[in-house]
Structure 1
Amino acid sequence: MFIGTAVAILAFDFDVFPERFGKTVNYGMSVMDIGTAMFVISMALSEYIITHRPQKSAKLNRSKQTPSYLSTFVILLGIGFVKELFAHIFKYSHSTIEYGEHWNFFITLGFLKLFTTIFPYPYSIPVGIIIGLTYQTALNLGLESWILRDDRDSWNVIDANREGICSLFGYIFVYGFTLIIIKFVAIVDGIFNPSYKSVSFWMIAGAFTYFGQLLMMEIFGEPSRRIANIPYVLAMVSMKCAVIGFLQLIQIQGVLRSNTKSETFNAKGLNLLESISGNCLLFFLIANLATGFVNSVIHTHSVQNVALQMTILIAYNFGICLFIYVWHLFNNRKLPSKGNPSLEVIIEK
């Protein structure tokens, strides 16, 4: 997911990238409308894993983790503001209908991290749901038309960044609703120990949210990433449930084909995937910085040769993957390799 998102960030600036995969303006969904919500869903999954890891006590570690969470909030906000500053200095144009004039996804992630610090699990579930439902009510009462209107007051910080500020409440709803789905799957211990039952639970959850999306579309209209309404939230969660279900099924099939007599199969993860999984935020940051660098030295839309466009994209992807791989090796060079614990799968007879 992160590799695909990183490639799409730069590829969108080239003519070789199909326009239909670009971010939608007001309503509907495309490939580039998925990445942000998937990142938030992954944050919720990580939060659950951290607070429920068998060998750790969430209550014991919460007080120690709070300063770390707050520092992450400050770092994310700093990255977001620096990104906007450099975009202004180098006159890097970006669409204001995504998050506004001065807002970006790093700032959204920063405030989302602040929310999870103030309302840690499990309090983030009811608070997130209440915020989401209240936000959808406000959309129905006129907030939606205010967000989607064409004119923008650049001197009014709230109006200039209304998409980023308002969609934050939608992403908080994504976070809280995802934790509900995770608790449902956790009934069969499907987070730490994938099994056929957990695959079924993920698929059931995905189907439930998909039909919920269809129902909400009849009530609230089409999904919209720009305002992060309920139909968009349910669409993203249902998609992620299906993806996780299929991935767990692949893991289980890998166990069955390993010819191991043990019911537990500890598979060593691919080094690149482990590197990205362990440094998601850094990978996303490097991808954004690399995209800005490429756009500052090359006028991407003037590159008409398809082979040259593909060469630039391959070199870009290779460069950011190599950086994150070397970074991961450098930071874990003294640690023994024990495989990826997330790939430990238990098959139920």
Structure 2
Amino acid sequence: MSLKDRKEAFVTDLTGGSTLDIYTVTSISACSYLIWCILKKRTKLFDDPKDLLGQLVDFCLNWNNLLLAVTAYSNNISLMMFLIGLPVLFIILGTKDKKRSQRRTIKVNFETLTPKQFLPFKSYITIYRSQMMILTCICILAVDFPLFPRRFAKVETWGTSLMDLGVGSFAYSMGVITARSFLRQHFLGKYSYIRNMFKAIKGSLPILAMGLIRLACVKYLNYQEHVTEYGKNWNFFFTLGFLPFLTNLTAPIVFKVSPLILSLIIGLSYEFALNQGGLMEFIVTAPRVNFFSDNREGIFSLIGYFCLCLNGLALGSIILPVVPAPNNLIKMTNSREDFINQQKQQKSCWTLTPLQGLSLMTVLFHVLFYIGDRCYTYEVSRRMTNFLYVIWVSAYNSTFLLCYKLIENFIWGEVKVQYSTSKEDSKTEHSTDLHVLEASETVPISLTAVNNNSLTLFLLANVATGLVNMNFDTLDSNEWSGIAVLMGYEFVLALFTMLMYHRGVIFK
């Protein structure tokens, strides 16, 4: 076989691993954030954002730890946790908390509340999105090396793996962030269906253009392809490009029935079509004779990814506002007047705090996944994004968001909110300085840098992955040369984001 054929065979017919293994390996991200928080509170290591030693430690914790977890220490995560945790234990025993100003109580006055104050910075969301992006960038190159366990690579049809979480987690995260726009518009009473549709189409065009460029490069350079992943001509960018359009297209329905309920209805209907309508047989066995059949995986998987986006939208409506929105479990169309009325009344049982919402979503999706995994005929299928896949990815993402939230509360304390009728209070407590202070205190600079330029970073990672594959024989590399190349690759990516950060360049 040619090298191209060997590389395609290297990522074909894989069956993945256990969900527990995936949780165990990726728990390093939460562990690394916890260690960073402890160092931040007890040392001066991260006080100067331009200090080289602090930036190096930051890089090792939030970049290199993830690389080692999915490669060299993938079979011994407990040892890795011991090695990175032992020095911190000595620091805890030998130091005291630095005297830092406690988080101030936020006084909310809905009469004068601005959109930026209504949807403030949430550090645990930044941590979640940045760690997800870093892990994705690492895996897209690491999968081509033998030192990357095959159980982490994408499965052929049935099963779970670390890389199968990738695009699903992006869809879920997109839903969380999309909720910000909807919440803001309804709070101000300025929602417009037509305007949002135009904005969604305009925003998707660059992503779709990237998909076309990637497709052209793959065909022109004869780059290895895994056809059953998305199809012959489909790719990750096309999927992401269509999701904003679908979300805004169905927005009126979402606002009526809640995104979570709509996701369950669509997901179960799609599952019925797969099992009783012959759709599963078409996706798995049909010949590729035209554009539709050539790209059936990418086209039909949009349904599952859209359900994931809706689940993220449901969670975003709970965790994004500065105070819990009225009936946020079933409604995301609250106006300023709704908040004012809620302030005067007792909180509804349908109104959840961010911690309650994260806990409920985590328990709900894990219970559904447990029942489906034990009782259902079919397994998780990323290829079809079946209902069990949607539930699994939703459970995973809500779990890690909850973990980051708990770490933030444990180390930094919960932000307390008080209602106020004083216009002066509202202005002083919601200053831009408070936003910047919390970002610098609770989020590593490396992760802020990633979050500020996540799409640019992902594009660079794809280009770098292609260059490495065309100039280095990843398939026949040994463990030492493989880890050296991967460390150099992640260092270049991290350096790029840090340079962009220090220069104040932001491309979301």
Counterpart amino acid of residue 167 in structure 1: S
- Give the equivalent residue in structure 2 for 1:212: 368
50-59 vs 281-290, which moves further: 50-59
Instruction: Indicate how the Cα distance of structure 1 residues 100 and 3 shifts in structure 2: closer, same or farther if over 3 A, else same.
Output: same
User: Residues 197 and 66 from structure 1, CA distance in 2 versus in 1: closer, same or farther, beyond 3 angstroms?
Assistant: closer
Matched, 1:199 2:355: yes
Structure 1 residues 39 and 58, CA, compared in 2 at 3 Å: closer, same or farther? farther
Supply the RMSD in Å over aligned alpha carbons. Answer: 3.0
Change (3 A) 1:133 1:18: same
Q: 1:330 to 1:63 in 2, by over 3 A?
A: farther
Structure 1: runs of 5+ lacking an equivalent: 334-349
Distance in 2 (CA, whole Å) between partners of 1:237 and 1:168 is 15
Report what 2:279 is aligned to.
143
| Equivalent-residue separation in structure 2 for 1:323 and 1:66 (angstroms) | 34
C-alpha distance in 2 between matches for 1:89 and 1:209: 42
1:312 aligns with 2:485: yes
* 2:255 is equivalent to residue 97 of structure 1: no
* 2:446 is equivalent to residue 272 of structure 1: yes
Q: Bigger shift: 128-137 or 118-127?
A: 118-127
**Match for residue 339 of structure 1?**
none
Alpha-carbon spacing, 1:114–1:65, altered in 2? closer, same or farther (3 Å) = closer
Would the aligned equivalents of 2:230 and 2:298 in 1 still touch at CA under 8 Å?
yes
Is the 1:129–1:176 Cα contact (8 Å) retained in structure 2? Answer: no
CA distance in 1, matches of 2:501, 2:182: 24
Of 367, 379, 396, which residue of structure 2 is paired with 1:222? 379
**Aligned counterparts of 1:329 and 1:50: Cα–Cα separation in 2:** 28
Q: For residue 183 of structure 1, report the CA deviation from its aligned partner.
A: 4.2
Tell me if the contact between 1:216 and 1:230 (Cα under 8 Å) persists in the aligned partners. Answer: no
SS in 2 for 1:295: helix
Question: TM-score, with normalisation over the residues of structure 2?
Answer: 0.58
| Cα deviation, residue 63, structure 1 | 6.4
Match of 2:461 in 1: 287
Equivalent residue for 1:299? 473
8 Å contact kept, 2:318–2:324: no
Q: Secondary structure at the match of 1:223?
A: coil
**CA 1:137–1:60 in 2, change beyond 3 Å: closer, same or farther?**
closer
Q: Distance in 2 between matches of 1:303 and 1:272?
A: 29
CA distance in 1, matches of 2:369, 2:499: 42
How far is 1:184 from its partner?
5.5
Judge conservation of contact 1:51–1:58 (CA < 8 Å) in 2.
no
Task: Give 2:407's match in structure 1, choosing from 246, 250, 269.
Answer: 250
Q: Is the 8 A contact 2:247 2:306 kept in 1?
A: no
| Deviation of the 1:9 alpha carbon | 0.5
For the 8 Å contact 2:145–2:474, the answer to whether it is kept is yes
Relative to structure 1, the CA distance from residue 133 to residue 87 in structure 2 (aligned partners, 3 Å threshold; closer, same or farther) is same
Q: Which aligned pairs between 1:21-32 and structure 2 lie closer than 5 A?
A: 21-32=152-163
Separation in structure 1 between the aligned mates of residue 318 and residue 503 of structure 2, nearest angstrom = 38
Name the structure 2 match of 1:156.
290
Matches within 5 A, 1:52-201: 52-53=183-184, 57=188, 59=190, 66-120=197-251, 122-123=254-255, 125=259, 128-141=263-276, 142-149=278-285, 152-153=287-288, 155-183=289-317, 189=324, 198-201=354-357
- The alpha-carbon deviation at position 220 of structure 1 amounts to 5.2
Q: 1:91 to 1:239 in 2, by over 3 A?
A: same
* C-alpha contact 2:182 2:191 (8 A) present in aligned 1: no
Is there any run of 5+ residues in structure 2 with no aligned partner, and where? 1-131, 329-351, 415-428
SS at match of 1:300: coil
SS at structure 2 position matched to 1:226: coil
- Is residue 2:177 matched to residue 1:46? yes
Residue by residue over 1:152-211, the C-alpha shift from the partner in whole angstroms, topping out at 9 and shown as x without a partner, is 42x4111111111110111111112332344466797399xxxx9533431232111111
- Summarize the Cα distance change of 1:114–1:315 in structure 2 as closer, same or farther, 3 Å threshold: same
1:342 matched residue in structure 2: none
Query: For 1:9 and 1:267, how far apart are their aligned partners in 2?
Result: 29
CA distance, structure 2, for counterparts of residue 158 and residue 216 of structure 1: 30
1:322 matches 2:495:
yes
Q: 2:145 aligns with which of 5, 14, 18?
A: 14
Per-residue CA deviation, residues 46-75 of structure 1 (Å, 9 max, x unaligned), is 011233359973726876665443222111
Deviation at 1:329, TM superposition (A): 3.9
Amino acid at match of 1:235: W
Deviations 1:22-69 (CA, angstroms, capped at 9, x unpaired) = 111111111111111111111011011233359973726876665443
Q: TM-score, normalising length from structure 1?
A: 0.82
